[in-house]
Each structure stands twice: as C-alpha cells, then as structure tokens.
Amino acid sequence: MIEGRCLCGAVRIRAEGLAGTMSACFCANCQRWGGGIQMGLDARGATRVTGPVKIYRATPFSERAWCDTCGSSLWLKDDDGPHEFCPGLFDNAGGAELTHVVYADRKPAGFDFAGVPDRISKADYESNNPFVPEGDMP
Ligand SMILES: [Zn+2]
Ligand SMILES: [Zn+2]
C-alpha cells in the first residue's frame, strides 16, 4: 500500500500500487485546472480515499476531484479508467518518472523547464524567504 495526502491532510489516499510512469498534459482543461500544467500518475489495483472530496464532472466521460478544505487537486478519472492521481500527493511523486507529455503541441511557448537557467535549491530559497518546515506540515 502506498499512502498519499492533500496539503491540509484531510484527504487521505491509499493505493495498492502506482504506475512507475507519469504524464503531463497541456490540454486547455488541464492547463486551467492544474494552474498551468497537470500531471497524472495512474493508480494500480484497489484505491481507498477518505476525507472531504469534491467532484467536478469535467466532461461527459470524466471527473476531476479536489479537497474541499485546502483545494488540493486530487485526481482526474475517466469513467472506465483508473484514478489518475496528482503525483504531488505522494512523497517523491510515488517514485514515478515523467515519460510522456500529452497535448505537447499545446504547451505554452514560455514553458521550457529544461532551459530554465535560474535553479534555486531548497536551502538557498529557505535562507531568504519565509517557509514552513516540512516536519510541521500535517
Ligand atoms: Zn486538504
Ligand atoms: Zn488534459
């Protein structure tokens, strides 16, 4: 069992397993819902979700879910498919690797992570900005 949670901890996820790979999507819906990019990590086997989950019927064939307390995006799910969880719900993105980009031709021109020259480490960021120690999170 792999466990994940939202930002506030009210929603808890237990998955029998997770895919070893994840996707990023640049379709218009995912860009709006995910704040620019949406990443997905398929569940494998049984899943159990508890907490204040809200569901939005995004299309006639799929739903998107979020935590009603903190607003964390939780999943995208086609009616006949597995939960496609947001990787950030799991420590280290469940160990998955980004292997494919969907709607790649719709990526905003300014999104090029590989070419970003200014990369700031956790230590450097936290030495100059307010932050919450990870151990203090719920
Ligand atoms: Zn929450
Ligand atoms: Zn999409």
The architecture (CATH level 2) of 2-108 comes to: Beta Complex (2.170)
Q: Which ligand number lies closest to the CA of residue 69?
A: 1
Other Cβ atoms closer than 10 A to 30: 24
In angstroms, what is the span from residue 130 Cα to ligand 2's centroid?
33
Segment 35-94, tens digit of pLDDT: 999 999 999 999 999 999 999 998 999 999 999 999 999 999 999 999 999 999 999 999
**Which ligand neighbours the alpha carbon of 67 most closely?**
1
Distance CA 75, CA 38 (A): 10
Q: How far apart are CA 123 and CA 117, in angstroms?
A: 18
What is the whole-number distance in angstroms between the Cα of residue 23 and the centre of ligand 1?
Answer: 23
* Verdict on whether the full-model pTM lies above 0.85: yes
Domain ranges of the chain: 2-108
End-to-end CA distance of the chain: 20
**All residues with CB under 5 Å from ion ligand 2:** 25, 27, 30
